[in-house]
Amino acid sequence: MGQWDLNLSKKSSKVKLQCQKGIPASLRAKCWPLLCGATDRMAQNKKLYEFLDSQPGLQSWVDIIERDLDRQFPFHEMFLSKDGHGQRGLFRVLKAYTQFQPEEGYCQAQGPVAAVLLMNMPAEEAFWCLVQISEQYLPGYYSPLLEGVLFDAAILSWVLKKMCPAIHKHLQQHGVEPLMFATDWLMCLFTRHLPFNTLLRVWDLFFCYGVKVLLQVAVVLVRCVLGRAEQRKQCAGQMETLERLRGVREHVQEEEESFIAEVCAVPLSGKDLKRRMEKELQRWRTDKPSSTFDPRGRCYGYRMACLTVRQWEEEHERKEREKGNLSVPLARSASTLSLSPSLLHKKFRRGKVNAGETLVNQNQTRKK
């Protein structure tokens, strides 16, 4: 952590090894934001969360968020009371996101994700981690059309066919598609389907490697309930198979070390995943010609997430210099990744906008 820039550029194998071993609970509040680029996002947008938090929010989103608050980890001490700091903090983070990303608003699956973040860090850090997950790690997962989830469900079908041919055949015979059982797994990042200590270890890997880890965990869970021939025989139809998959939590052991070892042993490389993504994207565009969804720019792990954020900052600084503000130094170039085309997103995400400009943008968006 003290030499993060050095580790980011030259010692990625060391970072990955530490994430596989598990991040100590006392360090997750610092390590997760570092890994996903939230620390840099927060530094680039000082006081933006404070401003968003101070605004009342769009009432339609506020009502929906408030109805969902007591559904997130209802037996956890942080979220027992409706007026407790856990539920209040969760409300603040989710409401701020609807203002930060008004085109998406609030998705129910973000609730448990934000709750786990809040269990490990303060609200502002949790907000920026949620932003990075939603925008950089899993773009399209929480949008109104859920295009990211639909796309990755198709990728998961390919992964299961490759890794578990007998299970894949069973699913095909009974008309069971990954979208029917894995949507909740992926969107909620397994918050409802793993023992809590195991979940934290999975998230250590997720922030390090990206969406690949979600697919590997899905393979392990499917194997857990359908891996043996006798298990598949007990699922004679579609309903029985889905019931077993949706109740997978009952079959996951509490020992996180063995589970993490199984996840890491699933032979899914980043290169294979990207090649398959390109093929799937061609099919996607044929089937959905009007869709603008493009997952190629998403972050496959911590290095890409951090470098993307730093590229945004460099672009912002360059524009400031072009305007004549020569006191702004050039940032070190880390990548040449593409930037978001939305002007509203540029103002919110890259520049340090003032409160008045932000409020004007919000009001214009609401009028639309």
pLDDT tens per residue across span 98-153: 999 998 899 999 999 999 999 999 999 999 999 999 999 999 999 999 999 999 99
Contact assessment for residue 222 and residue 168, using Cβ atoms and an 8 Å cutoff? no
Q: Which residue has the tokens 């598609």?
A: 177
Tell me which amino acid residue 307 is. Answer: L
Question: Given pLDDT bands bounded at 50, 70 and 90, which one contains residue 358?
Answer: very low
**73-96 pLDDT tens trace:** 888 888 888 888 889 999 999 999
| Cα 189 to Cα 29: distance, rounded to the nearest angstrom | 18
Helix (H), strand (E), coil (C) string for 310-349: HHHHHHHHHHHHHCCCCCCCCCCCCCCCCCCCCHHHHHHH
Chain segment 303-328, per-residue pLDDT in tens: 888 888 888 878 877 877 777 765 55
Residue 234 and residue 221: Cα distance in Å, rounded? 17
- Of 220, 206, 216, the C-alpha closest to 298 is 206
Q: Tell me the mean pLDDT in the region 60-72.
A: 91
Q: Which of the four pLDDT bands, split at 50, 70 and 90, describes residue 5?
A: confident
How do residues 183-221 score in pLDDT, each as one tens digit? Answer: 999 999 999 999 999 999 999 999 999 999 999 999 999
Whether 347 has a pLDDT exceeding 60, the answer reads no
Type of residue found at 89: G
